[in-house]
Amino acid sequence: MKLPQIRLLVLDVDGVLTDGRLYFSADGEALKVFHVRDGHGIKALLSAGIEVAIISGRRSAALERRAHELGIRHLRQGIDDKGIALNALLKELGIDAAHAACLVDDTPDLPMMALVGLPVAVADAHPKVLAAATLITQLPGGAGAVRELADRILGEA
């Protein structure tokens, strides 16, 4: 499959950058586990001039730290309507939706999938998300799916 010229990759978090499980400490802090290869893929995209954004329904200090560590400047947390958030981001960046991709896993992400030129689902996504995807990764969320897509976008896969 030939990929459109992607200028923006939008990522969900739980189930995409993580395996979807939530860990809570005794203090009630949510802990997240991120895959190091996904981080390398994100850095490769940014180095190639491709914007990377995160739009998440949840808020997480761990995510803020990871996004900062990777150089992701566009982090939107606590978002109820991801389609509205994505439209605003596209306008802010001056990027046509046809040149945007999203990598997602669950039904709250369907509005983003309907907007972008390349809607992608992780291998273990919800059936409705799999049906809406143009491309499905071989890897599940939290296990290198972001890196897999980054390699495809960069023509390295």
The predicted-structure confidence for 74-89, as pLDDT tens digits, reads as follows 999 999 999 999 999 9
- Classified by CATH at the fold level, domain 8-153 comes out as Rossmann fold (3.40.50)
Q: Would you give the distance in Å from CA 127 to the centre of its chain?
A: 18
The burial of 118, by beta-carbon neighbours within 10 Å (0-12 exposed, 13-18 middle, 19 or more buried), is given as: buried
Sign of CA dihedral 147, 72, 47, 98: positive
Q: Return the H-helix or E-strand segment holding 114.
A: helix 110-115
Structure token pair of residue 34: 């991120």
Reported as a single tens digit per residue, the pLDDT across 136-147 is: 999 999 999 999
pTM of the model: 0.93
